[in-house]
Every structure is written in structure tokens, then in C-alpha cells.
Amino acid sequence: MDTQILHKNAYKSQVAVFPPDVNTFRSKETVSQSFSLLPARPRHASQSSVRDLVTILNKSAVDPSQLDVVVAPPALHLDLVQQLLKRDIAVCAQNVSLTGLGAFTGEVAAEQLVDFGITWTITGHSERRAYYGETDEIVAKKTKRALGLGLKVIFCIGETLEQRQAGQTLDVLTRQTKALATIIDEKDWRRVVIAYEPVWAIGTGVVATPEQAQEAHHKLRKWIAANVSTSVAEGVRIIYGGSVSAKNCKELIGLDDVDGFLVGGASLKPEFDTIIRSAL
């Protein structure tokens, strides 16, 4: 299952795996993955299916001394997943409100996530940007608020096929990142993981080459060095989320500026362990 088939995908869960300490210098022992729950298969949104997916993760060959595993299920299943997952796997929200506590029906505030013991949240996912009109400014403000309340954030960025074909990849990635960089302190970047998810390479059958992945990550890191700081550029983890599989994971993780993965369907298959082992 793919994480980004925008017109088909819903009720999906996501997972991320990072170095064990957010204060640790970025290393090649960083992996991120996600798995999808499609509305075409309602059973995937059930508690029993979530239990099955958690079982897969609990059996994964993850060494907590080298990797942090972060699982982001739909909001309805946050508590269930938190109860079932082994302790070395953290639970993450797929989204967080721009506002705090108050009369905001349907929203989940960062304060509520913290109260439930949730330590991570995702912001800026391509589906949130595409379907809910979340602008760069909104995503940045959500991220800042979450960081301010002690959450760690998986900050998603990425360009569409049209933007890539127009040669706008770097412009889009830096624009999205700049919106955040201008409103958070340098120290906050230690609790941010950037997830580069090229929309054109997710759920489309089009696979980015390792060269394309490295180029995007490298240019983004250079921009961060020039516009934020060298230390942030060297320390921030930039993970890749474009159709990662057992076939390409070893080559991708060997790239200088690719610190990990955002995996789709492979997280539900035996090859998931292969992807995990590639980062060790």
C-alpha cells in the first residue's frame, strides 16, 4: 500500500524510525517508514487490523540502541496502539491543531496529545496540504506550537510532478522549509525531522532515482546551512519518502544526505525487515 494515493488513501497509519536520542548527531542509523489503511478495504480501519499491524511492527528487527521507532496511527487508534506497542516504539499523531484548548470542534490540540503521553506529531503531510488547504504558513505555525509544548515533529515537505517538471523542486522545498525556519529558534531543530516526500513519486508508479533523491536532500541541506546554520544543517535528519522498497533501500541509505525512509506498502510486507536492516 502506498502512503500518498491522494484520491484513494485514508485511515492510514504511519511509522518513523530515527536515532535513539534527538540530541544525537545525525547518523546513517536512521530509518522511517509508514503503512497505509485504504478506505477501499474498511477492515483496515478496524481495531483488529490495527492490532495486526502493530504485531508486524513489534516483530520487526529494530535495535532501540540504534533506532527510534515512531508509529502514527489514525487518531481513533492512538490509545490502542500506545497500549499494544513495545516500549521502545513511540506513538505519533498524524496531525495537530493550530489552536490550543477551546471551542474548536474536531481538533486535537498539542496539549491533549501531551496529556495522553504522545511525544511526536506529523505536520505538513502532502494530503493535509492538498486536501485541507494547509499553507506553508499554517504548517509552520502548527509545527512551532507543537515544538513549544514539547512535542517532536516530523515536518513534511515535497513538490508535485508539475513543479518538478517546471524545475521548481528546490524552490518549493526551500519555500516550505523557510516558512518554519523564520519562526523557530535554532535549538528547536533538534526536535525536528524533515521528511521529503516527492508527491510525484508516491503512489504513481514513478520511482525517483537515487541521484534525484540525493540531489534534493543535498541542495536542501546546503540551503539550511546558508540560511539557518551549519550546525543545524549537519545535525538535522532528512528522510526520504518516495516508493522505498527492499530493492532500493540499501542504495538509498548509502547516499550521503539521505538519513532514512518514509516507506509505504513495504512496511506491511516481509521486506520491511530488509529495509530496517539496511539502515543498521
177 assigned to some structural domain: yes
Task: For residue 197, indicate whether it is catalytic.
Answer: yes
pLDDT in tens, 77-126: 999 999 998 877 888 999 999 998 998 888 999 999 999 999 999 999 98
Residue 57 confidence (pLDDT): 79
Question: Count of H helices and E strands in the chain?
Answer: 11, 8
Tell me, yes or no, whether 29 lies in a domain: yes
Q: Are 232 and 240 in contact (CB under 8 A)?
A: no
Q: Which domain holds residue 274?
A: 13-278
What is the mean predicted confidence (pLDDT) over 167-181? Answer: 98
Cα–Cα distance, 266 to 15 (Å, whole number): 12
End-to-end CA separation in angstroms for the chain: 24
The pLDDT of residue 26 is 63
In a domain, 5, yes or no: no
For residue 30, pLDDT beyond 70: no
Residue in 44, 125, 127, 159 annotated catalytic: 125
Q: Domain total for the chain?
A: 1
In a domain, 137, yes or no: yes
Q: Is residue 1 part of a domain?
A: no
Looking at the domain assignment, is residue 56 inside a domain? yes
Asked if residue 6 is part of any domain, the answer here is no
Identify the pLDDT of residue 202.
76
Read off the C-alpha cell for 142.
502548527
CATH number at residue 129: 3.20.20.70
Identify which has the larger pLDDT, 273 or 23.
273
Inform me whether the pLDDT recorded for 29 exceeds 50: no
Q: Which element (helix H / strand E) includes 72?
A: strand 68-72
The mean pLDDT of the chain is 80
Query: What pLDDT score does 1 carry?
Result: 32
Known catalytic residue at 77: no
d(CA 137, CA 145): 12
> Looking at the domain assignment, is residue 171 inside a domain?
yes
CB 143 within 8 A of CB 184: yes
Choose, from 29, 77, 197, 217, the residue flagged as catalytic.
197
Please say whether the beta carbons of 74 and 88 come within 8 A. no
